[in-house]
Structure 1
Amino acid sequence: MVAPGITGRTRPTKVKKRENAQKRKRDDVDVEKLEQAVQELEPKTSSYKDFTDLPLSDPTKQGLKSCHFAVMTDIQSKAIPLALQGHDILGAAKTGSGKTLSFIIPVLENLYRLQHIGPDAGLGALILSPTRELAIQIFDVLRKIGRHGHMFAAGLLIGGKSLEDERQALTKMNILVATPGRMLQHLSQTAAFSVDDLKMLVLDEADRILDMGFQRDVDAIIEYLPKERQTLLFSATQSRKVSDLARLSLQDPEYVSVHAEDKSATPKGLTQNYIVCPLDEKLDTLWSFIQASKKSKILCFFSSAKTVRFVYESFRHMQPGIPLLHIHGRQKQGARLDTTAKFSSAKHSCLFATDVAARGLDFPAVDFVIQVDCPDDVDTYIHRVGRTARYNREGRGVLFLAPSEEEGMLKRLEAKKVPVELINVRQKKRQSIKDQLQNMCFQDPALKYLGQKAFVTHVKSIYLQKDKEVFKLKEYDLEAYASSLGLPGTPRIKFMKGDDSKQKKQASRQTIEVSDSSEAEQETEKKAKPVRTKYDRMFERQNQDVLADHYKKLVRDGSGDGPSVADDFIGEATANDGHDDDFMAVKRRIPANDEDEDFGADDDTAVAPGGRVVHLAGASQPLVIDSNRREKLLKSKKKLLAFMDKGKKLIYDDEGNPHEIYELETEEQFKAKGLPEEQRQRFIEAATEVVKAADVEDKAAAKAKRQEKLRKRKERERNETTEGGEQGVELEDAGEDLLANFRADAEFTDEDEEADEQPKKQKKEKKWFQSDSEDDERSKKRKKKAKHVVEEPETLEDMEALAAGLLG
């Protein structure tokens, strides 16, 4: 007899057989007992501490035991019994208090009791999350709890994956974890996807999903869902607005708030501090903090993705001694998943992030949360700082506030029961990285371009803030902030045209008619333009590098005219219509207007009331300062160079007196020297004398050179004769040599000079077949030929002697 549970098969049992066996076991489960036990629960009067106190199914109990979950948190003990009974819930609790399990367990248990299993059952529960990372985290928890016996088909719908693969598997799903955008895409485009039998809808981070960012998507999704369903909303900062509750069709919702009466809206183990730090000192302070905390796990929040990229790239080049990571919404899905996985597993690391990592993500053992840029509101602050001090652990949050942000932000934090204490930075440990950033931006144009975009997006985020009592754009020192990023000049920001409703309201009717007619003319001109085809666009493409059109718009060389940075924010302007390039244009320099370009003023120049005259070192004329813009120009050494005196290049004469290298004569000095023709004649005569003197020197040098050549030649010949063994020298030859040394210059021709320059022919070496006797005979013949030299006859007697010699 084979023991129960042991078979004689060596191969593992097939998957299909195991599934069928579990389904048969599941049919044996008494669902009626579970349902009766759930109905007997009294969540409002009784208190439940352990998971074993609740009527849960065996697969759920095994999943909780395998994950080591035994004791419930406050939000779990109050929300789970109500959710098991089918109530709609608005759950609010501090970050890190276990809200995920508060809706995962009711989803599994309610579908389990309804036997909502298999592809024929359709979609039973939908869980919506605002970010992809949070959706992945929820799906992992669901998988860990439900894989010990539950037979539900669960899926994850987020962007960045194949849409066709999701469509094929979507019709078989019982539980879905999704982001709003991807869910709406499938509801509107996937024909076989049906949600008519949906039982439960869960919104994690509900306040974020219900705000303006996801309002349209959520409203469209709710139109597809049935109204008869159970709805669960969970968040650290819950919304209780009637309009939101009406949109979701909630039926008598139960509001579960376990920390409403606490003195603080944040966890107890969290130490919260803030630093008053000007905008231009934030990067210096952050770098100094990272240097002092290399053995920690740090999470830094910024307001824009471009700022995150710039800080990450620049800090990475400076090598702080701690692993650096960055995450933002413009990254691809694979890169974002790798970043979250690396930061979760790292022991010491620093992550630069936008608010995409501010909600729900569970990074273990985060020591510090640094909010470099001020959050939009207190809710965002609570979610950001909630990444540390989770599950009764300790953590620390530090908030950087500009002087103009301090008063308004502290009021709002106090109203929401968020205790924050002021701390100061030790100036001895504070390091300045301004020079390093300037050097890197000078060497790397791509980094400088990224810094300019970071400046633009940061200023844009400040301008778009709703709370103008906290974010006062005119009180920020934007020039110093641009310099702290390492930029060579302050980008000039230019807002779009369009929101001129106040101007139109105050303007006269004639000006409005003229503007309307000009707009009509512009529209007709646009219509008259020829249609551009795809081939035209193809040939007009450019490499999207630092030389592309959007970079040329961002940085324009030349002085140009235009208002300063602060003046560009004055007046009405549209907040945003989606075009970043048109919304802001950047320029390196901020010159004054045309009438302000001439800052020089004499001592007797009239100064406007309230103005003053500044004498600069190196400038002959003083500067008149009569406005704030001119006062700011004094801070820039680069701009003050235009008003300094030009330098002079000096030379020193023989007596050691300095003179300018080019000195112009005055008209009186020129006339004192005489008429122009006389000066010209004198100059020609002086130049002629100089040429003659130079000619004599040149001839003497040439003569000395020729004599030296001749002396060397004679010495060389004399040495050759002595080496050849010729002892005697004829008197005639010696006399000729002596006479040759005293030969006149006129008799020394160029031909002789050329002859001297030619090297003498070297004696041919003897062949192996030649003897010394043959050489002697040849030398004798040459001597005989040399003796019979025919002299020209001068007299008649000489001619007779010559003839006699020839005859005989």
Structure 2
Amino acid sequence: MTQIQRKSLPVSLKGRDVLGAARTGSGKTLAFLVPVLEVLYRRRWGPQDGLGALVISPTRELAVQIFEVLRSIGGYHTFSAGLVIGGKSLKDERERLGRMNILVATPGRLLQHMDQTVGFACDNLQMLVLDEADRILDMGFAKTLSALLSHLPKSRQTLLFSATQTQSVTDLARLSLKDPVFISADPEAAGLATPDSLQQHYTVVPLDKKLDVLWSFVKSHLQCKTLVFLSACKQVRFVFETFRRLHPGVPLLHLHGKQKQATRLAVYRKFTRSKHAVLFATDIAARGLDFPAVDWVVQVDAPEDAETYIHRVGRTARYESAGNALLFLCPSEEEGMCRALEGKGVTVEKTKIRASKTQSIENMLQKLAFQDPEVKYLGQRAFVSYMRSVYLQKDKSIFKLEELPAEAFAASLGLPGAPKIKFLSREIAKKKKNAQRIVPGTDNQQVSEVAPHESSDEEESEESGDEEEGQESGSEAEGSRASRPPEEAKGSAKPSKTNGVRTKYDRMFERKNQNILSAHYTKLVDHGADSEEEDDFITLKRADHELPGAGLPESHNLSKRKLKAGESKKAMLKYKGAPTKLVFDDEGRAHELYEMQDPEEVFKGGEREVAEAGKKYVQEERGKLMERDVLDKAEAREKKREKKRKRKEREKGAPGDDAYLGPSVQPLPEDDGYESPEFELPSASDSEDEAAPPPPKRSKKAPNSRPERNTSPELNNLEDEEELALRMLRSRR
């Protein structure tokens, strides 16, 4: 056993809380996994007892490594173990979570399961292990860890292990340990945080020469396994893509936090199995990962602090093997970093790089950036990411942004010029705003110089980062100022940049298209090069603008068309996903609303039972169809009878029917004594009168047709004609 295992195992097996501090590669993983298995075995832990031990790791790769070690040493036990990390299917983890006795997890995903997974309980937890506990707190998991501890029982046993463990009483109280025992692996060698078998060197390299030195190092160590640390994800991507196109003659890999989980695991396993390879990585690979047989750890960018340096170089010279470490430092970082390392007891020797052995790749990178726009874009993002990482560092005695050669660094990345960095312009604007100024027209001496305006090339362009576009916009602004009439220039009373301070009125008159833009629209428009070249601190952005709906929800400021489009089913499914609903059975268990049955449970009887179930289903459906067919036929016959009945009623013309058109008109008598006044018929004999045909009778099919006019010669007076007319009118009514 190693020192940390020999000292911590007896204490852990007694049930005491342990604080273990040991340098990297000293066997801390077995120091807490062996007590986990032993304690659960002694207490006869079974599947029905639920979760018994919980191991929390700061990174996914370290959690995977711990889980693999647990599988290798726990194969002789009947415990069930699970791995819960981000980037995997939440549904699959949720189904298996309730059956686990030992769980290895990252803090964020574990808290998500505790809050959302139905039936996941830790009330019976026996042991809690925090690996790399200080890193968990440094990565911003302090609130998450506090929330996790609130879900766990207080009667548990807690084990904390790390290479740079602090013994602060505040940290221990926050992690709620009970009378912990502090165990250090090498009390006789206190202050030595790195093993003796590790050869550590550093070299001073200007920022614009780092990639040249790194390329020369890789070309001269093709038969080695090298781990290269950079400060930002975009730097890792740029170096990997450019070096891959230059074909150094050794396999290249890259690992950073922006990759998907499956890709990260594949890269981790591939580098573990490789004999000769170069892995470009961020600090995600600096903690706890056990890469076998790593020959060199090269730190191109300076670590955040001495603790990060210790963890980085700990990836080599693990346990009893040897290793080498090389640190690149800028001239402005050398003094501060050496002082910080000496404070932690780390001795690093200085070495020099032969200029004759260094190959410059600046021209090759420029050619790649010219031929491939993707490489140029990655270079711009890498430049901005590195400058921001230096700007955000806490220790300003080491990281001095103003002393870095920005233009030369951009040229070393193959860029035609330094991209714009907006956070620098904001910082300059603050300095200019707080600086003391003289009043124009007075003889008083200026107390302090106004902060010089940096060139716009040092500002970040989030959208394009293109140097040519910046030059075009700058020339366009110069042209607009040159085209201003001399009367307007005199009226603006603009002092020169060297002997005065520009006022807000000067800046207002320098804006383009001021005669056509309204005041409201001017606040919403980013004026581009002109506004950036002046004072950025007066630029109003859309988020800060107070619209009439200020104080109301953000949705009140949107148009009706956008609100309606956002409420559509398609938009809701796109951004919110398909709706889900849980229902509870009589026993209180939660189920999805439309839940499929388990095929294994339904068809557990074999093929014969499946065939019988199919035949039974077909017979039931056939019976239902026959019953429905009988009902449909009866309904059709009833409709046919009703239709026939209505047709007969229409033919009879019975009252109350829709076809009834009123009483039929009776025909006039054959001889009513009428004689037409207009046409005097000649007198005829009685025989002829008797032989005269009667007027035609009205047809039954047309009861409302007009009756034919009777021209009887007996109706000679006007009264008879009126009477006839009245009868005809009544018949029409």
| AA matched with 2:230 | F
The reply on whether 1:563 has 2:454 as its aligned counterpart is yes
Q: Which residue of structure 1 lines up, in the alignment, with residue 79 of structure 2?
A: 152
Q: In 2, distance between residues paired with 1:325 and 1:567?
A: 31
Report if the CA contact (8 A) 1:129-1:204 is conserved.
yes
The reply on whether 1:113 has 2:42 as its aligned counterpart is yes
Q: Which residue of structure 2 lines up, in the alignment, with residue 22 of structure 1?
A: none
Aligned mate of 2:203, from 275, 285, 294 = 275
1:373-429 CA distance string (max 9 Å, x none): 100011110011000001111000000000000000000000001110001111111
Q: Which residue of structure 1 lines up, in the alignment, with residue 365 of structure 2?
A: 437
Q: Give the secondary structure class of the aligned counterpart of 2:121.
A: coil
Residues 442 and 493 of structure 1, relative CA distance in 2, 3 Å threshold: same
Gaps of 5+ in 2: 438-451, 483-497, 500-733
The reply on whether 1:491 has 2:419 as its aligned counterpart is yes
Q: In 2, distance between residues paired with 1:77 and 1:179?
A: 28
Residues 212 and 501 of structure 1, relative CA distance in 2, 3 Å threshold: farther
Report if the CA contact (8 A) 1:134-1:360 is conserved.
yes
1:327-349 CA distance string (max 9 Å, x none): 11111111111111111111111
Q: In 2, distance between residues paired with 1:502 and 1:292?
A: 47
Q: Which residue of structure 2 lines up, in the alignment, with residue 64 of structure 1?
A: none
| AA matched with 2:201 | N
Residues 313 and 211 of structure 1, relative CA distance in 2, 3 Å threshold: same
Q: Which residue of structure 1 lines up, in the alignment, with residue 98 of structure 2?
A: 171
Q: Which residue of structure 2 lines up, in the alignment, with residue 4 of structure 1?
A: none
Residues 485 and 260 of structure 1, relative CA distance in 2, 3 Å threshold: farther
Residues 376 and 260 of structure 1, relative CA distance in 2, 3 Å threshold: farther
Shift of 1:594: 6.8
1:772-791 CA distance string (max 9 Å, x none): xxxxxxxxxxxxxxxxxxxx
Q: Which residue of structure 1 lines up, in the alignment, with residue 337 of structure 2?
A: 409
Q: In 2, distance between residues paired with 1:432 and 1:183?
A: 48
Aligned mate of 2:175, from 245, 248, 255 = 248
Q: Give the secondary structure class of the aligned counterpart of 2:288.
A: coil
The reply on whether 1:264 has 2:192 as its aligned counterpart is yes
Residues 496 and 278 of structure 1, relative CA distance in 2, 3 Å threshold: closer
Gaps of 5+ in 1: 1-71, 509-560, 570-579, 599-607, 610-808
Q: Which residue of structure 2 lines up, in the alignment, with residue 23 of structure 1?
A: none
Q: Which residue of structure 1 lines up, in the alignment, with residue 376 of structure 2?
A: 448
Shift of 1:568: 6.3
Q: In 2, distance between residues paired with 1:97 and 1:247?
A: 27
Aligned mate of 1:162, from 89, 103, 110 = 89
Q: Which residue of structure 2 lines up, in the alignment, with residue 516 of structure 1?
A: none
1:291-350 CA distance string (max 9 Å, x none): 110011100000011000100000000000001111111111111111111111111111
Residues 422 and 565 of structure 1, relative CA distance in 2, 3 Å threshold: farther
What does 1:318-337 correspond to in 2, within 5 Å? Answer: 318-337=246-265
1:735-791 CA distance string (max 9 Å, x none): xxxxxxxxxxxxxxxxxxxxxxxxxxxxxxxxxxxxxxxxxxxxxxxxxxxxxxxxx
Report if the CA contact (8 A) 1:132-1:179 is conserved.
yes
The reply on whether 1:104 has 2:37 as its aligned counterpart is no
- Range moving further from structure 2, 211-220 or 123-132: 211-220
Q: Which residue of structure 1 lines up, in the alignment, with residue 668 of structure 2?
A: none
Q: Which residue of structure 2 lines up, in the alignment, with residue 198 of structure 1?
A: 125
Report if the CA contact (8 A) 1:303-1:461 is conserved.
yes
- Range moving further from structure 2, 204-213 or 80-89: 204-213
Q: In 2, distance between residues paired with 1:345 and 1:457?
A: 31
The reply on whether 1:480 has 2:408 as its aligned counterpart is yes
Q: Give the fraction of aligned pairs with identical amino acids, expressed as a percent.
A: 57
Q: In 2, distance between residues paired with 1:568 and 1:581?
A: 9
Aligned mate of 2:214, from 262, 281, 286 = 286
Shift of 1:506: 9.6
Report if the CA contact (8 A) 1:130-1:209 is conserved.
yes
Shift of 1:564: 2.1
Q: In 2, distance between residues paired with 1:361 and 1:109?
A: 25
Instruction: Give the paired residue count.
Output: 463
Q: In 2, distance between residues paired with 1:503 and 1:195?
A: 57
Shift of 1:288: 0.2
Report if the CA contact (8 A) 2:232-2:282 is conserved.
yes
Q: Give the secondary structure class of the aligned counterpart of 1:210.
A: helix
Shift of 1:241: 2.2
- Range moving further from structure 2, 340-349 or 208-217: 208-217
Report if the CA contact (8 A) 1:269-1:395 is conserved.
yes
1:69-88 CA distance string (max 9 Å, x none): xxx00000011110000111
1:645-683 CA distance string (max 9 Å, x none): xxxxxxxxxxxxxxxxxxxxxxxxxxxxxxxxxxxxxxx
Residues 79 and 395 of structure 1, relative CA distance in 2, 3 Å threshold: same
The reply on whether 1:81 has 2:81 as its aligned counterpart is no
Q: In 2, distance between residues paired with 1:227 and 1:323?
A: 50
| AA matched with 2:356 | K
| AA matched with 1:153 | S
What does 1:293-692 correspond to in 2, within 5 Å? Answer: 293-495=221-423, 563-564=454-455, 581=462, 587=467
Shift of 1:563: 3.1
1:227-258 CA distance string (max 9 Å, x none): 11111110100022222211111001111112
Q: Give the secondary structure class of the aligned counterpart of 1:428.
A: helix
Residues 497 and 169 of structure 1, relative CA distance in 2, 3 Å threshold: farther
Q: In 1, distance between residues paired with 2:375 and 2:338?
A: 35
Shift of 1:566: 9.2
Residues 219 and 505 of structure 1, relative CA distance in 2, 3 Å threshold: farther
TM-score, length-normalised on structure 1?
A: 0.55
Q: In 1, distance between residues paired with 2:246 and 2:268?
A: 23
Report if the CA contact (8 A) 2:417-2:457 is conserved.
no
Q: In 1, distance between residues paired with 2:46 and 2:379?
A: 54
Report if the CA contact (8 A) 1:492-1:564 is conserved.
no
Report if the CA contact (8 A) 1:494-1:585 is conserved.
no
Runs of at least 4 residues off by over 3 Å = 496-508, 565-569, 584-595
Shift of 1:565: 6.4
